[in-house]
Structure 1
Amino acid sequence: MNFATTNFLSYQKSVPDVLDKISAKDILSKQHSILIKPNLVNSSPFPVTTSVKCCEAIVNYIKASSDADIVIAEGAGDATHETYEIFDLLGYTDLAERQGIELADLNHARLRKLENKARPVFLEMYLPEIAFTHFIISVPVLKAHSLAVVTGTLKNMMGLAPPRYYSGQGPWKKALFHERLHEAIIDLNTYRSPDLSVMDASVGLADFHLGGRECSPPAGKLIAGFDPLETDREAANLLGIDWKTVPHLSSDLQLQAEALT
């Protein structure tokens, strides 16, 4: 099964439940290196950013399923904080020490250059080498977005983009994406999309990705899937948004990714 939801009770109960529904253990047991990619866009606490408790439940599930090396990696977009500062402020440094796993700053990682002259925005792209040596689990939170309409697991991959190439003219470290955001998200995910997504939709932000009104009542779900497009489409549904009206969700990413290879 490629996609599932479960009612949120607690991370300890609901993360294993939703991952079992898609038989994630079968896939994880075959991995040697796994990268967990939370959404740590800035230093704000959950539900703006991914809860460290959610990621720890995923770490525990991986350890029960696989002997793979685990790294939690992010490239924060905040103009005023470096990624390791945000790891520390949001409890990820303590998590890494407690679990004996690594943290990595994708903003300063060794890069690989990729090219596809058919892309509308990024004819070439620089992404961290680690993104191609590791199985990627994207762990976004359910949020509306002022520019992208919905921010989910596809947009979460922007954390891979190194600021030295993608800061553009804006204050955010990935501001270049904002010039043609929907097309840029599609381009990025044709170069590298997540292998597995676990979206924390236990609460949800209804209006804006950096704060504002929480979903009322809370969305109360976790979503997991091997198809990132279907995961984000379900996220749009939970926010009451027709995914067909969201340009980066109405594109057939699978066909585009196959064309790239």
Structure 2
Amino acid sequence: MKQGTVYTVKQENQQYRVTCLLDAAGLDKKIAGRPVILIKPNLVEALPPPITTPVSLVRAIILYLRKHSQAEILIGEGTASATYDTPHAFEALGYTKLGKELDVPLIDLNHEPCISLKCAKYVRWPEMHLPQIAMESFLLSVPMLKAHSLALVTLTMKNMMGLAPPQHYQQGGGWKKSAFHLGIQDAVADLNRYRTPDFSVLDATLGMAEAHLWGPTCQPPPHILAASDDPVAIDAYGAQLLHKNWQEIGHIKSVHQELGQAAPLTVHEIMTVK
């Protein structure tokens, strides 16, 4: 029987735990021969972690990738804010400085050239427009552990909404991805049918317990970093950390056994030595 697999590590020194986790998850082998790696953090708004992906985590991932690959590394996001665009979030959250320090280009996915993809059987998006760079790169998603008022959770699959260009997915004058609010579970599922992450690193250090932009953090904090090449498995695991049943979350349930395995789920806790 197929099963989902997730690797986890408790918090210690950040670079050390990232190295141990990614080694165990076999990321070095998965990126072998890939010419371009696109790192997709969650920078939905220019708000500090745990709402958004900490720049220190992305820095640690880049250093790991540089050690194991000659690929060109990019950081890409398409922020959803109605009042500013992605470069503002990059600057406010330390990504502009990181890009200069490590010579990593920053890509505003809201304005990248897109390709059109079609599948008549998909319920919400029989046609979808997505950035060509995301379709051609090894896509490494770095989401945060967060509950969501509409989608119930926002983890690695919902993190892919940053790929959606506002010229096609903004309805009215509000939030740049507002078309996703209509039938959000089907919308996230169909998006991932077109493009789901090749690998995910989930920051479950604190976790947002009730909403993705405000409210309390998880109590007690999970203090976990998780990794998987199975987006369904890592989202089912993240839902579990948020005390939610993945079978009640439409976008996870609908792609279970299609894009990955939510259950049975095997979690390998990586033991580290200080």
Q: Same fold (TM over 0.5)?
A: yes
Match of 2:147 in 1: 144
What is the match of residue 86 of structure 2?
A: 83
Q: Whose relative contact order is higher, 1 or 2, with alpha carbons under 8 Å and at least 6 apart? A: 2
State the AA in 2 paired with 1:140: P
Measured in 2, the distance between the counterparts of 1:32 and 1:131 equals 13
Q: Could you say which structure has the higher helix fraction?
A: 1
Contact kept, 8 Å, 2:231 with 2:259, in 1: the verdict is: no
Whole-Å separation in 2 of the counterparts to 1:232 and 1:121: 20
Deviations 1:183-237 (CA, angstroms, capped at 9, x unpaired): 0000000000000000100110000100210011111101100000100000011
Q: Aligned ranges for residues 65-104 of structure 1 at < 5 Å?
A: 65-104=68-107
Partner of 1:59: 62
Other-structure match for 2:49: 46
Q: Kindly indicate whether the alpha-carbon contact (under 8 Å) linking 2:232 and 2:259 is maintained by their aligned counterparts in 1.
A: no
CA distance in 2, matches of 1:220, 1:169: 39
Q: Any conservation in 1 of the 2:204–2:224 contact (CA below 8 Å)?
A: yes
Alignment equivalent of 2:202, drawn from 199, 203, 221? 199
Aligned length: 257
| C-alpha distance in 2 between matches for 1:254 and 1:167 | 31
Q: Secondary structure at the match of 2:157?
A: helix
Aligned residue for 1:36, secondary structure, equals strand
Structure 2 unaligned spans of 5+: 261-274
**How far apart are 1:169 and its partner, in Å?**
2.7
Judged with a 3 Å threshold, the aligned counterparts in structure 2 of structure 1 residues 3 and 170 are, in CA distance, closer, same or farther, namely farther
The unaligned stretches of length 5 or more in structure 1 are none
Distance 1:76 1:234 in 2: 25
Identity %: 43
Q: 2:26 & 2:160 partners in 1: Cα distance?
A: 23
Deviation per residue, 1:147-175 (Å, 9 max, x gap): 01110000000000000000113611001
- For the residues of structure 1 that align with 2:120 and 2:230, how far apart are their CA atoms? 25
Measure, in 1, the Cα distance between the counterparts of 2:205 and 2:153: 16
Partners in 1 of 2:210 and 2:23 — Cα distance?
A: 31
What root-mean-square deviation, in Å, do the aligned CA atoms of Structure 1 and Structure 2 show?
A: 1.4
